[in-house]
Structure 1
Amino acid sequence: MSFSNDPVVKVQDACIFQDNNTVLSDVNFELEKGEFVFLIGRTGGGKSSLLKTLYADLPLRLGQINVAGYNIGNIRNSEIPMLRRKIGIIFQDFQLFPDRTVAENLTFVMKATGWKEGSKIKSRQAEVLMQVGLGSVGTKMPHQLSGGEQQRVVIARALINDPVMLIADEPTGNLDPEVSQGIFRLFQDINKKGTAVLMATHDHNLVKGQTVRVLKCEKGKLLDSTKEKFEIKTNLY
C-alpha cells in the first residue's frame, strides 16, 4: 500500500457525531504526507470526536473518510488494528500500564501488532526510546517517570510501527508550559523526518507564532486556516 501521492487523510462531506448528536457537519479537508496540522476549538466542539472517527473508534455515519488507505466508512473490525499500525495515536492521559516497566509496556503493544522476535523487539524499542530522548528508562516503572517522560514513552509507543501519521489528542494537556514546549519540539522533529502530525490542543500558545496550518472546530463547522481567517485566542476553553 503506497501513500506517496495520496493524502494521508481525505475527508469529504462528513458529519461527525458524539452519541446521537451532530458536533461537526460538512467536514472537508485533506492532510498530506509529511504535513503538520493543529486542531483547535472549545471543549465539546468536536475535536476528540473527529480524531476518534479518523482512527475508527467512533463510527462514520455520513460522508467519506479515507485514512492511510483505509475507507473508514466501510472498514471491517478486523482491519482496525491494521489501520492503527499505519497511524500512531497519542493521548493526554498516557494510558500506560502502571504495573509494567516501560519495556514491558512497549512489548505489549509490539506483540499485539505482530512483532514476534525478541531481538528485533529489543532493538526497535531501543531505537524509538532514543528517538524521544529516553535511552535508559526501559527498566523503570511509569510512576518513576515525570509527566513529560511518560508522554515521551507514549510517543515512542506510537512510533513503534513507523506510522505514516501521528494523531495526538491534547498531548500536552497535563504538562507544564516548559515541558509542553519540549514535547512540541519532539513532534516537530518527528514531522521533519516525514511523519504527518495532526495535533489537537487547547494550548494556543503553542499554535501562535507557528506557520503551520490550523483547523478550528467552531459552531459545528471545521474552519481551515488556508481557506478562512480566524482568531486564535490564548488558551481557549
Structure 2
Amino acid sequence: MFNAEPVVSLQNAFIYQNDRIVLNDVNFTINKGEFVFLIGRTGSGKSSLLKTLYADLWLQQGTAKVAGYQIEKMKLSDRPFLRRKIGVVFQDFQLFMDRNVNENLMWVLEATGWTDRAKMKARIAEVLMQVGLASAKDKMPHQLSGGEQQRVVIARALLNEPQILFADEPTGNLDPEVSAQILQLFKDINKAGTAILMATHDFDMIRQFPARILKCDNGYVKSDDL
C-alpha cells in the first residue's frame, strides 16, 4: 500500500547555528515526489536548515521527521541509516580527489552497508548512466569539468535510491549553460519519483523551471503554499 506520509515534516522547529537561532518556528512539509526550491539571501539560514534536515546540525527545539526518522531524537549511531534514505548534493562537490569516480562511489556504498561486489558494480554503472557519465568511471576528478564533477556528486547522492535529495546551491560554481543542464537533470530525477529540496539564489533558474518555493526571510521560512 502506498504510504502518503510526507518525506519531510517540520513542526515548531527552531534552527540554530552554534548558539544563535537563525530560523524561528519553522513549519512545512514536503511530499513524496515533490520539487521545492529553498530561496533566501546569503546568511538567511538555508544551509543551516538543510544541515538540520540531514542531521549535520542538531535540532534543539521542535520536531522534524525526514524519510521516517525523527531528527530531534536521533542518535549519532542512527545517522548512517538516515543517510541511506536521503541524498545530499553540495556546491563544492566534496569528492575524494585522490580516487577515481568508481572509487568515490564505491566508498559510499561500502560506508552505507553494501557488501555484494557485483551488485555494487551494477549500481554504480546505473547511476553513472542516469547522470550521463557512463564512460567516466575510471577518470580522476581533476580530469572532469565542474559540470561533470557535479554530475558525479549527483550520482553519488542517488546510489541508495533516496526518497529525497537535499541540494545546497548545486549550481553555485557553474556557468549558466551548465547550470541549466544540471537543473534539467534534477528535474528528470524528480520525474522518476525522487523528492528534491534545492537551495538556490539563481532566480533565472526558478523562472525557467517553476516549482513550489520556500523562502528564508528575516528569521522565518515562508511558503508560497500558505
TM-score band (shorter)? over 0.9
Change (3 A) 1:78 1:145: same
Deviation at 1:76, TM superposition (A): 1.2
Pairwise mapping of residues 147-226 of structure 1 onto structure 2 (< 5 A)? 147-226=146-225
**Structure 1: how far apart are the matches of 2:121 and 2:24?**
45
Q: Percent identity?
A: 63
Give the aligned partner of residue 26 of structure 2. Answer: 27
Give the aligned partner of residue 128 of structure 2. Answer: 129
Contact 1:3–1:33 (8 Å) recurs in 2: no
- 1:97 corresponds to which letter in structure 2? F
Deviation at 1:212, TM superposition (A): 1.1
Give the aligned partner of residue 101 of structure 1. Answer: 100
Structure 2: 5+ residue stretches without partners = none
- 1:107 corresponds to which letter in structure 2? M
Deviation at 1:210, TM superposition (A): 3.4
Deviation at 1:3, TM superposition (A): 7.3
**Structure 2: how far apart are the matches of 1:191 and 1:219?**
30
**Structure 1: how far apart are the matches of 2:224 and 2:206?**
12
Deviation at 1:115, TM superposition (A): 1.0
SS at match of 2:188: helix
Structure 1: 5+ residue stretches without partners = 228-237
Instruction: Report the TM-score when normalising by structure 1.
Output: 0.94
Instruction: Report the TM-score when normalising by structure 2.
Output: 0.98
**Structure 2: how far apart are the matches of 1:142 and 1:42?**
30
Contact 1:4–1:33 (8 Å) recurs in 2: no
Q: What is the aligned length? A: 226
**Structure 1: how far apart are the matches of 2:8 and 2:222?**
16
**Structure 1: how far apart are the matches of 2:73 and 2:18?**
19
How big is each residue's C-alpha offset from its partner over 1:68-106, in whole Å with a ceiling of 9 and x where there is no partner? 000000011111000011000000000000010000000
Question: RMSD across aligned C-alpha pairs, in angstroms?
Answer: 1.0
Deviation at 1:119, TM superposition (A): 1.1
- 1:79 corresponds to which letter in structure 2? D
**Structure 1: how far apart are the matches of 2:6 and 2:46?**
20
